[in-house]
Amino acid sequence: MTLHWVPATERTDLLADPVALAVPDVGGVEVAEIDPELADTAAFCERYGVRLDESANCVVVAAKRGGETRYAACMVLATMRVDVNGVVRKHLDARKASFAPMSDAVELTGMEYGGITPLGLPGDWPVLVDTHVAEHARVVIGSGVRRSKLAVSGAALAGLKSAEVLSLAG
């Protein structure tokens, strides 16, 4: 099946509300409609012919220290794993870091699980972009909903206001 990419600003109906508000500030973002049953990375890549190293996942992390919980988003290529307990925990100066519970991630982002993306996240969340993602000319990421995907340059992700580029793999 072929993906039909169009400028995301022309198809905001395919975006979660916070993503639709953020897209005009990023520029060059494209969107393609997909089967929502195939939104999970492996199934999406297999069905639509996108390589795993061209797809990036957004992982929401809950970092705890002194009774306070802070959230961050981590962007890594689908071929990589985020070192949550090492690199991310230390970078966020947390005592404990873990993947955020699905219900918290969905509620706090206003996005669907399986479609969470760094575009449109709460402004006080750091977006930790792995160096491999930042170097990519174009990566496929979530759109905030399961029925579409975004294509965006790694440089655009690295240029988000709250973005920090670092090596996230352990």
For residue 76, is it within any domain?
A: yes
Question: For residue range 148-157, what is the model confidence (pLDDT) as tens digits?
Answer: 999 999 999 9
Range of the domain at 19: 6-166
The pTM for the full model equals: 0.94
Domain of residue 131, CATH code = 3.90.960.10
Q: Band the pLDDT of 28: cuts 50, 70, 90.
A: very high
For residue 81, is it within any domain?
A: yes
For residue 1, is it within any domain?
A: no
Percent of the chain with pLDDT over 90: 97
For residue 43, is it within any domain?
A: yes
Residue 169 confidence (pLDDT) above 90: no
Contact 168, 77 (CB under 8 A): no
Contact 41, 149 (CB under 8 A): no
For residue 67, is it within any domain?
A: yes
* Total domains, the chain: 1
Averaged pLDDT score across all residues of the chain:
95
Q: CB-based burial of residue 113 (10 Å sphere; 0-12 exposed, 13-18 middle, 19+ buried)?
A: middle
Question: For residue range 98-120, what is the model confidence (pLDDT) as tens digits?
Answer: 999 999 999 999 999 999 999 99
Residue 170 confidence (pLDDT) above 90: no
Q: CA quadruple 102, 103, 109, 115: dihedral positive or negative?
A: positive
Question: For residue range 119-137, what is the model confidence (pLDDT) as tens digits?
Answer: 999 999 999 999 999 999 9
For residue 153, is it within any domain?
A: yes
